[in-house]
Amino acid sequence: KNEVEQSPQNLTAQEGEFITINCSYSVGISALHWLQQHPGGGIVSLFMLSSGKKKHGRLIATINIQEKHSSLHITASHPRDSAVYICAVMNYGGSQGNLIFGKGTKLSVKP
């Protein structure tokens, strides 16, 4: 079993829909990242959080430390949101930079 599991693996949505991507992890963590990877390969850091909820524009990330679960929500989705969304955790006590990555959720938003 992977230490970081994401669901769904693939997601197709219509423009305007509300989207949720889930991430569950099995290790103790000091922080969790949500990353966005576009087809060219570049990665954008969306959120780094260790508790509660963060919001940036149409993106919202939540984390429940007790349940070892995080969600990334996209409101009013748009075709430009199409990308792979990756959850990564920093293992508590692990060496810095050595994140544990989920396999990613490929999102496609149709106009």
Residues 6+ apart with CB under 8 A from 41: none
Q: Which is nearer to another protein, 4 or 19 (CB)?
A: 4
Cβ 100 vs Cβ 89: under 8 Å: yes
Check if the beta carbon of residue 81 is closer than 8 Å to that of residue 107.
Answer: yes
The residue (of 24 and 33) whose beta carbon lies closer to another protein is 33
How many angstroms separate the Cα of 108 from the Cα of each of 5, 21, 36, 45, 74? Answer: 20, 13, 13, 19, 12
Question: Contact positions toward another protein, by CB under 8 A?
Answer: 30-31, 33, 35, 40-45, 48, 86, 88, 90, 95-99, 101-104
Residue closer to another protein by CB (options 31, 60) is: 31
Closest separation between CB of residue 68 and another protein, Å? Answer: 19
Instruction: Report the nearest approach of another protein to the CB of residue 37 (Å).
Output: 8
